[in-house]
Amino acid sequence: MNCPHAAAPQADSASAGGTVVIDPMVQDLDGETARLRDAGPLARIELLGVPAWTVTRHAEARQLLVDTRLVKDLDAWGLWQSGAVTHAWPLIGMIDAGRSMFTVDGAEHRRLRTKTSQALTPRRLEAIRPDIERFTEELLDALAEQGKDGVVDLKSVFAQPLPMRVVGMLMGVDEAEHAMLTKRYKAFFSMLTPHDERMSLLAELDVFYAALVRERTARPKDDLTSALILAEEGGDPLTEEEVVGNLKAMVAAGHETTIGLILNAVRALLAHPDQLRKVLDGEISWETVIEETLRWDTPTTHLLMRFATEDIQVGDEVIAKGEGVVISYRVIGRDVEQHGPDADAFDITRPAPIRHMTFGHGPHICPGAALSRVEAGIALPALFGRFPRLLLAVPDKELRKLPVMTQNDLECFPVLLHG
């Protein structure tokens, strides 16, 4: 089978004058990771013509992610205040995406986040485990059917629909809408989508979720959407805009991250058959596979963006008031000071525990981290239990990244189920 692919212009992501230009087409993610790591714990970067800082090391990231002088408020960005960055900038929709727990700080962040966190407790995750197991088996049946005569795309048939089904169930989104949502999110994040079309997609998602919120306001159900509508923190219920913002961001984060986690784990294991054998023989746990995958090949590459409300000293560098800061999770996962000189190697036998921060750190740590781990912890052993001779149908070097600056996402993942 052939992956759908649109030719894209390549960007120069090499360092220039001390600044690393982030390639929107993601042509050489490993090379970019190495250049950013070599640039130091705090590196100057350029995002589609806009300058910013990025943090590349574990220790400094832990420091900055809890620093209250770095905020999500777009109005704290000097380039936004001056008009140098406007809504014409192609990445603005990933920063100015509406009011939600992802775009505010402090007490307002806690107010917007509380009900979401309550809906994803360990008890709740255990309660939905049978549903995730059922979805997994149904999708493996579909994978077996489509792959019985040859190559099948593991992404589109299994890794992509599974997390969308799960997050859709949690949010109360009808399954008939899943394909539409997947298509819109994929187009929104793609750097091949014209900017005007990307902003229109954001508006369409707002309309969709607003309709869902109004439906649940009139007829509540046992889902997260209804819980957010009914939430009252200190007598102050969430507004429609806030519920819509939370839903829009949660569905994006709740399925994109898990797609990457599942595919990156499968890819790493197939590229390291000796390690796969240890897992299949029960010598190494699937939990260890998941944590090493999260460290080594993070689902999120660069998280946009925080802004300094005053000067912040980081080592020998100073983030000036008003400057923007990106968190480069993939580079942080390859930090040799944290993970040793073999940080670039995938190694499920490395000493435990594998301490990474792929899901963030501090107040904005990903609320869906535990859900993603549960999904991968069900999906991966079920996949290899059903298809222990699973093989890539193309050389690994032929797998291509989607042109997405923030996610580590593959175009497709062609496999042979029986070797």
pLDDT classification of 9: cutoffs 50, 70, 90: very low
pLDDT classification of 4: cutoffs 50, 70, 90: low
If DSSP states are collapsed to H, E and C, what string results for 94-127? HCCCCCCCCCCCHHHHHHHHHHHHHHCCHHHHHH
For the chain, give the percent of residues with pLDDT over 90: 88
CA distances from 46 to 49, 324, 399, 405 (A): 6, 11, 26, 12
pLDDT classification of 163: cutoffs 50, 70, 90: very high
Mean pLDDT of 277-289: 98
Q: Do residues 292 and 265 touch, judged by C-beta distance below 8 A?
A: no
pLDDT classification of 31: cutoffs 50, 70, 90: very high
pLDDT at 145: 98
The reply to whether omega before 305 is within 30° of 0 (cis) is yes
pLDDT at 98: 86
The type of residue at 146 is Q
CA distances from 305 to 47, 73, 186, 246 (A): 11, 9, 20, 17
Q: CA–CA separation, 53 vs 318, rounded Å?
A: 10
pLDDT at 2: 60
The type of residue at 42 is L
- The predicted-structure confidence for 113-162, as pLDDT tens digits, reads as follows 987 887 788 888 999 999 999 999 999 999 999 999 999 999 999 999 99
- Which distant-in-sequence residues (6+ apart) come within 8 Å of 336 by Cβ? 37, 343
Q: Do residues 358 and 329 touch, judged by C-beta distance below 8 A?
A: yes
Q: How far is C-alpha 256 from the chain's CA centre?
A: 5
Strand pairing of 414-416 and 391-392?
A: antiparallel
For residue 369, is pLDDT > 50? yes
pLDDT classification of 10: cutoffs 50, 70, 90: very low
Mean pLDDT of 34-41: 96
- The predicted-structure confidence for 59-115, as pLDDT tens digits, reads as follows 999 999 999 999 999 999 999 999 999 999 999 999 998 899 999 999 999 988 987
Read off the tokens for 294.
């999260």
Q: How many CA atoms lie within 13 A of 73 on its CB side?
A: 15
Q: Judge if pTM exceeds 0.85.
A: yes
Q: CA–CA separation, 91 vs 143, rounded Å?
A: 35
- The predicted-structure confidence for 376-416, as pLDDT tens digits, reads as follows 999 999 999 999 999 999 999 999 999 999 999 999 999 99
Q: Do residues 256 and 187 touch, judged by C-beta distance below 8 A?
A: no
CA distances from 413 to 4, 155, 160, 208, 297 (A): 11, 6, 11, 30, 16
Mean pLDDT of 22-29: 94
pLDDT at 234: 52
Q: Do residues 94 and 406 touch, judged by C-beta distance below 8 A?
A: yes
Q: CA–CA separation, 177 vs 247, rounded Å?
A: 14
Q: What share of the chain is helix, strand, coil (3-state, %, to 5)?
A: 50, 10, 35
Phi, psi of 145 (to 5 degrees): -65, -45
pLDDT at 219: 96
pLDDT at 11: 46
Which one has a higher pLDDT value, 236 or 322? 322
Mean pLDDT of 358-376: 95
Mean pLDDT of 199-215: 95
Q: CA–CA separation, 259 vs 139, rounded Å?
A: 14
Q: CA–CA separation, 161 vs 135, rounded Å?
A: 9
Q: How far is C-alpha 213 from the chain's CA centre?
A: 24
Q: CA–CA separation, 239 vs 229, rounded Å?
A: 8
Q: What is the CA radius of gyration of the chain?
A: 21
pLDDT at 97: 85
Read off the tokens for 171.
């949010």
Dump strand ranges (E) for 17-95.
19-21, 42-47, 50-55, 70-71
Give which of 76, 115, 68, 114 is closest to 95, Cα–Cα.
76
pLDDT at 12: 47
**Residue 264, strand partner residues:** none
- The predicted-structure confidence for 217-226, as pLDDT tens digits, reads as follows 999 999 999 9
Least confident of 188-197, 248-257, 282-291: 248-257
Mean pLDDT for the chain? 93
Write out the DSSP string of 365-390.
Answer: --TTHHHHHHHHHHHHHHHHHH-TT-
Residue with tokens 């992501």: 13
Residue 408 per-residue DSSP state: -
Read off the tokens for 77.
């960005």
Write out the DSSP string of 141-186.
Answer: HHHHHHTTTS-EEHIIIIITHHHHHHHHHHHT--GGGHHHHHHHHH
For residue 329, is pLDDT > 90? yes
